[in-house]
A and B are shown apart, each in its own frame.
Chain A
């Protein structure tokens, strides 16, 4: 068996007296699609923030293809092939869509240190950025300003910025949040086009759309892993029902 793409073990995080992540362990295999579910406040986004380094863990270990990430700066984790999208859109609203993706591409490009060349003359960057937008169906909107686009388009831009990095492990934080039924199907179809060399961990509330996407599901509750298993196992588990429906 190959080593996991993402391996979290014994991860703990407290905010003051409140434990947000309690001894969380999970391991995601290369190419796997993993869904993380759980009620509000279950610590799903906190888990992502610990993996990316937005938050510092109190204890535990997070390994990306066997390399320890904890103690590493966020940008270094990104350079190892980690990418994420945000549940709350985090974009550059006054810039054109294409500029958002160019900033994303620059993050992995040594040219980002160049204070002398004219950015817009770096044709290849813009071609790549447009290609990334094309991929999420925003090719025609590349030159529009972000704040003039619809919410659904911004969600797809989030995705384009993450995919532009050609990540090895992609963390998607509620990529369907706030979308209409039609847009959900579009984004869902888009997720299906991501090749299997990208490992995906996704937080999502919309079970109808998300369940079909993931092979394995992890259920978090009060910062703890309650149930983990295949789709059928988790759905059938009485604890899932208890958490979601109450007893």
Chain B
């Protein structure tokens, strides 16, 4: 990592650590937790989207499977840790099945199959009244007590989420810099060539699909801990689309893009909606403006802008000091 990168990381870590004190207000601390949870969703979908070029519209399915499994296991009397592990394992296994099904088709077919699978999960949640409470949803009994620490109040839940998020971010960062990550990006750009270089393109994509499903499931369990409630509305197509938009808005194929996108969309949804009635329109406008001016998303766009501005400044300085004209 470059020196400026280390400094930026240190500043971000410091800000995230003291955030509850800066904010103070419980409503906004909860908002921060929500941003982190959605950022994890967006990061996980971006493993497929940004690095693998696979557009999925079924990511909320993992929230559904992991979420309902966690609630049902806990209500059935299992302890929280067992319930969480069971939920993530079940949902990751479902990701493996979904992967086998959707990776049969490339491109548009892939999108449509993931969409259909997500809708199946939604449909089951909606119809299986006895299990999921149908449209009314079901409650999660209580937040867990990891290592005996009480995370019921907003700041401590925020820190709990932050720890999980940091672990996930570190793993996904390693993933993006790893040989496997490089192979994945290769299969995104030149699948035919990658096969001819000895890579198993299908398996690379499949494993990525499962890993993305795993982190999506972890985010799903966090979501249930945060809301202590889950209903089919939370796992609708709109949810999947929003997660996808977060990654695209911030900049897929960058590590930080999905986090930025998640923060913007979550804030607009929750904060702006209390002032502006047509917040959905505002979200649409933001999205259109970003895509028009920064087609690769906010993070790469801002980087480019910054590079252009600083090179212009340098040129001015160079022009003032040097006798030769700047090129």
Chain A positions within 8 Å of B, measured between CB atoms, are 52-54, 73-75, 78-79, 83-84, 86, 90-92, 94, 99, 102-104, 106-109, 111-120, 122, 161, 165
Contact: A115 with B180, CB < 8 Å? Answer: yes
The residues of B that contact A73 with a CB separation of less than 8 Å are 195, 200
The residues of B that contact A86 with a CB separation of less than 8 Å are 193
Tell me the minimal C-beta distance from B104 to chain A in angstroms.
15
Contact: A119 with B178, CB < 8 Å? Answer: yes
The residues of A that contact B179 with a CB separation of less than 8 Å are 106, 109, 111-114, 117, 119, 122
**Among B62-70, B109-117, B184-192, the stretch in contact with A:** B184-192
**In the bound complex, how far is the Cα of B211 from the Cα of A165, in angstroms?**
29
In the complex, what residue of chain B is closest to A116 when comparing beta carbons?
B174
**In the bound complex, how far is the Cα of B194 from the Cα of A106, in angstroms?**
10
**In the bound complex, how far is the Cα of B183 from the Cα of A198, in angstroms?**
26
Indicate whether B143 reaches chain A with its CB closer than 8 angstroms: no
Tell me the minimal C-beta distance from A230 to chain B in angstroms.
31
**In the bound complex, how far is the Cα of B185 from the Cα of A115, in angstroms?**
13
The residues of A that contact B86 with a CB separation of less than 8 Å are none
Name 18 A/B residue pairs within 8 A (Cβ), A-sorted. Answer: A54-B192, A73-B195, A78-B195, A78-B197, A78-B198, A94-B189, A99-B182, A103-B182, A103-B183, A103-B197, A106-B182, A106-B199, A112-B183, A116-B174, A117-B178, A118-B178, A119-B182, A165-B198
Indicate whether B28 reaches chain A with its CB closer than 8 angstroms: no
In the complex, what residue of chain B is closest to A74 when comparing beta carbons?
B195
Contact: B189 with A92, CB < 8 Å? Answer: yes
Contact: A119 with B192, CB < 8 Å? Answer: no
Contact: B193 with A106, CB < 8 Å? Answer: no
Chain B positions within 8 Å of A, measured between CB atoms, are 171, 174-175, 177-183, 186, 189-190, 192-201, 207, 211
A75-B195, A165-B198 known; 20 new pairs, CB 8 Å cut-off, are A54-B192, A74-B195, A74-B196, A78-B195, A84-B196, A90-B196, A94-B189, A103-B186, A103-B197, A104-B197, A112-B199, A113-B180, A114-B178, A115-B178, A115-B181, A116-B171, A116-B178, A118-B177, A119-B179, A165-B197
Contact: B196 with A112, CB < 8 Å? Answer: no
In the complex, what residue of chain A is closest to B190 when comparing beta carbons?
A90
**In the bound complex, how far is the Cα of B177 from the Cα of A118, in angstroms?**
5
The residues of A that contact B190 with a CB separation of less than 8 Å are 90-92
Tell me the minimal C-beta distance from B11 to chain A in angstroms.
23
The residues of B that contact A107 with a CB separation of less than 8 Å are 194, 197-199
The residues of B that contact A109 with a CB separation of less than 8 Å are 179
The residues of A that contact B182 with a CB separation of less than 8 Å are 99, 102-103, 106, 119
**In the bound complex, how far is the Cα of B182 from the Cα of A88, in angstroms?**
23
Looking at B175, B180, B189, B193, the one whose CB has the most chain A CB atoms below 10 A away is B193
The residues of A that contact B211 with a CB separation of less than 8 Å are 115
Tell me the minimal C-beta distance from B300 to chain A in angstroms.
12
Query: How many pairs of residues, A versus B, come closer than 8 Å at their CB atoms?
Result: 91
**In the bound complex, how far is the Cα of B196 from the Cα of A165, in angstroms?**
11
Contact: A161 with B174, CB < 8 Å? Answer: no
Tell me the minimal C-beta distance from B190 to chain A in angstroms.
6
- A54-B192, A92-B186 known; A161-B197 Cβ under 8 A: yes
Contact: A106 with B195, CB < 8 Å? Answer: no
Tell me the minimal C-beta distance from A71 to chain B in angstroms.
15
In the complex, what residue of chain A is closest to B47 when comparing beta carbons?
A115
The residues of A that contact B189 with a CB separation of less than 8 Å are 92, 94
In the complex, what residue of chain A is closest to B181 when comparing beta carbons?
A115
Tell me the minimal C-beta distance from A106 to chain B in angstroms.
6
The residues of B that contact A83 with a CB separation of less than 8 Å are 196
**In the bound complex, how far is the Cα of B197 from the Cα of A99, in angstroms?**
13
Contact: A118 with B174, CB < 8 Å? Answer: yes
The residues of B that contact A113 with a CB separation of less than 8 Å are 179-180, 207
**In the bound complex, how far is the Cα of B207 from the Cα of A113, in angstroms?**
9
The residues of B that contact A117 with a CB separation of less than 8 Å are 174, 178-179
The residues of B that contact A94 with a CB separation of less than 8 Å are 189
**In the bound complex, how far is the Cα of B3 from the Cα of A240, in angstroms?**
65
**In the bound complex, how far is the Cα of B174 from the Cα of A83, in angstroms?**
31
Contact: B196 with A78, CB < 8 Å? Answer: yes
The residues of B that contact A99 with a CB separation of less than 8 Å are 182
The residues of A that contact B196 with a CB separation of less than 8 Å are 52, 54, 74, 78, 83-84, 90
The residues of A that contact B201 with a CB separation of less than 8 Å are 75
| Cross-chain contact of B181 among A79, A92, A119, A161 (Cβ < 8 A) | A119
**In the bound complex, how far is the Cα of B6 from the Cα of A15, in angstroms?**
56
Looking at A74, A91, A161, the one whose CB has the most chain B CB atoms below 10 A away is A74
The residues of A that contact B193 with a CB separation of less than 8 Å are 86, 90-92
3 nearest A-B residue pairs (beta carbon): A107-B198, A107-B197, A115-B180
**In the bound complex, how far is the Cα of B183 from the Cα of A211, in angstroms?**
38
Contact: B180 with A112, CB < 8 Å? Answer: yes
**In the bound complex, how far is the Cα of B139 from the Cα of A1, in angstroms?**
78
**In the bound complex, how far is the Cα of B195 from the Cα of A54, in angstroms?**
9
The residues of A that contact B177 with a CB separation of less than 8 Å are 118-120
| Cross-chain contact of B199 among A75, A84, A118 (Cβ < 8 A) | A75
The residues of A that contact B199 with a CB separation of less than 8 Å are 75, 103, 106-107, 112
